[in-house]
Structure 1
């Protein structure tokens, strides 16, 4: 007769996973590092996307023109909202993605499918777009489009003053100008990025989440860089439209762009198809390196926690 143990085999304990709050902390630290390194590229990208008359001939010409006419400090315009925005965005993105993934995990195996990763990433992107990205980017873009450094000549004196002016002149919803393309851009970006990052970790380094293995920073940077390349190409039109919608004000009367679809049609009719990918090269110069920097920091933080948390736990 079989023993009770053989009739009822003991279930394999599920592998412990890193809690969402640790993912959120790792993302915030990665965001601080990324913002410190890449702000000038973001300024150049914004100026190129807003350039309708061909004043800038390319990335280098744009950067040198800004430096020559406005000073080197102009390349760090909007740094405060950019750094705050990145830190909060990555905190929410990493934490919410971890919570969504927990909901999509198989209850028996603890594993998550690629479909679950895509949906988790998309949900995290939509949430960050509505809660953080849109209002912060509206303020950042309004500050970045101003030319010159003399405070008396600038409409917006700083991030807080800019936000107050927008609310006073356009209402609270003015801070959510361009929300629709931002949601589409961020949702698509994060769906692709989280799925690709996991795939590259497994493919290149045989790293599975929760296995106790910690990638070297250079390995995380390679995976993060590769994961960050697809999004900008796919979401270029959403990013251009988002920037145009956020930058326009009611100073001259009626708004030029009535919404996302109208903006896409107008840009295509007036400037051609390629105008919908304006600023793509600086986006590729900023986003993949930014993801490389962020993941290098985030993986080390979660890796440290993973080693401590999984010590003595079955793998």
Structure 2
């Protein structure tokens, strides 16, 4: 552990890491959200067959920029979110280590969990707004299909819904429910993020410590940090996927015609298991791994590259 904890460069590195990582993997994250949200229709039919089918249909129907729906709010808030997550873990590891600079495994887990708990202040509203924008195309397709099967001209002649934006959604939630309206699904978000961070950060630290060191530095070479982030991200992501499915469904404000609604975490778990079976809790797992593994591999690599130290003229250890 560093003898000193330099906050500013760590915050800057965390923000840069988040922006670069999210830009690279956002389209896969959109596909993940839509796969997790889709429920079988009355005849058991599904709008999307798999990851590839969802990606192709989304691109064909909504174009290149449709693959980045919700990315604006994500990029705006990912800077503080990633800064809190990465810097928070470093901070807790710093204050929990012994005088000899050693950290027990239990304290490593506690440090990760603490970072995950801190980040939900930003993560919950960010995820809530992002999910509405990402899922709009899927829910609109279900509504359109349901309306086309009715003979009611009043229903069929309904004008298309207004174009969504993060600002409109946020203002509507605040007007209806106050500031806490932006924190719908906060409990499920905490369940996912705290568990994820408690698994990810200790695993990454141990994997990264095994790698070759950069010349004149105590940091691992960039490719080893990248691989460590990918492996740790993949493991933690798969472990918490059921929590992510529940979080996604609880935070989806507009359900398609005939889709199930949920009153809370336990209710959502119960209904998903009853109506769709245990496999449903791992919907989007491959997509989530494809998002999280490279996201954290890229983020950890950028975080340790020392961009902020270079810009600020600070010597990196």
SS of equivalent to 2:3 = coil
Matched with 1:35 is: 22
1:221 and 2:226 matched? yes
Match of 1:10 in 2: none
Task: Summarize the Cα distance change of 1:15–1:298 in structure 2 as closer, same or farther, 3 Å threshold.
Answer: closer
Shift of 1:303: 9.7
In the other structure, the counterpart of 1:7 is none
- 1:50-129 equivalence runs, <5 A: 50-53=37-40, 54-106=46-98, 108-129=99-120
Matched, 1:298 2:298: no
3-state SS, counterpart of residue 221 of structure 1: helix
> Bigger CA drift: 223-232 or 93-102?
93-102
The 3 A distance-change label for structure 1 pair 30 and 201 is same
User: Cα RMSD between the aligned structures?
Assistant: 2.8
Deviations, residues 292-313 of structure 1 (Å, cap 9, x unaligned): 1111111101795798254xxx
Secondary structure in structure 2 of the residue aligned to 1:248: coil
What's the secondary structure of 1:121's corresponding residue? helix
Of 97-106 and 32-41, more deviation after overlay is shown by 97-106
1:26 is displaced (CA, Å) by: 1.3
Q: 4+ residue runs of structure 1 moved beyond 6 angstroms? A: none
Structure 2 residues without counterparts, runs of 5 or longer: 41-45, 141-158
Note if contact 1:24-1:93 (Cα within 8 Å) is conserved in structure 2.
Answer: no
> In the TM superposition, what whole-angstrom CA distance separates every residue of 1:218-239 from its partner, at most 9, and x where no partner exists?
2221111111111111111110
1: CA distance between counterparts of 2:246 and 2:2? 44
Report the alpha carbon displacement of residue 251 of structure 1 after superposing the two structures with TM.
Answer: 10
**Is it true that 1:142 corresponds to 2:147 in the alignment?**
no
Matches within 5 A, 1:1-315: 16-53=3-40, 54-106=46-98, 108-129=99-120, 131-147=121-137, 153-155=160-162, 157-205=164-212, 212-249=217-254, 256-301=261-306, 308-310=315-317
Q: Measure the CA separation in 1 of the matches of 2:20 and 2:14.
A: 10
Distance 2:200 2:227 in 1: 13
Q: 1:103 Cα deviation (Å)? A: 2.1
Q: In the TM superposition, what is the alpha-carbon distance from 1:91 to its structure 2 partner?
A: 0.8
Aligned partner of residue 315 in structure 2, secondary structure: helix
Query: TM-score when scaled to structure 1?
Result: 0.84
Note if contact 2:14-2:79 (Cα within 8 Å) is conserved in structure 1: yes
Partner Cα separation in structure 2 for residue 304 and residue 73 of structure 1: 34
Q: Which has the larger radius of gyration?
A: 1
How far off its partner does 1:154 sit? 4.2
For residues 79-107 of structure 1, give each alpha carbon's deviation from its aligned partner in whole angstroms, at most 9, with x where no partner exists. Answer: 1111123221111112222222222111x
Query: Displacement of 1:111 after TM fit?
Result: 2.2
Q: 1:309 to 1:296 in 2, by over 3 A?
A: closer
Distance 1:309 1:70, change over 3 A: closer
CA distance in structure 1 between the partners assigned to 2:125 and 2:2 by the alignment:
39
CA distance in 2, matches of 1:19, 1:116: 21
CA-CA distance at 1:176 after TM superposition: 1.1
Q: Provide the TM-score with structure 2 as the length reference.
A: 0.83
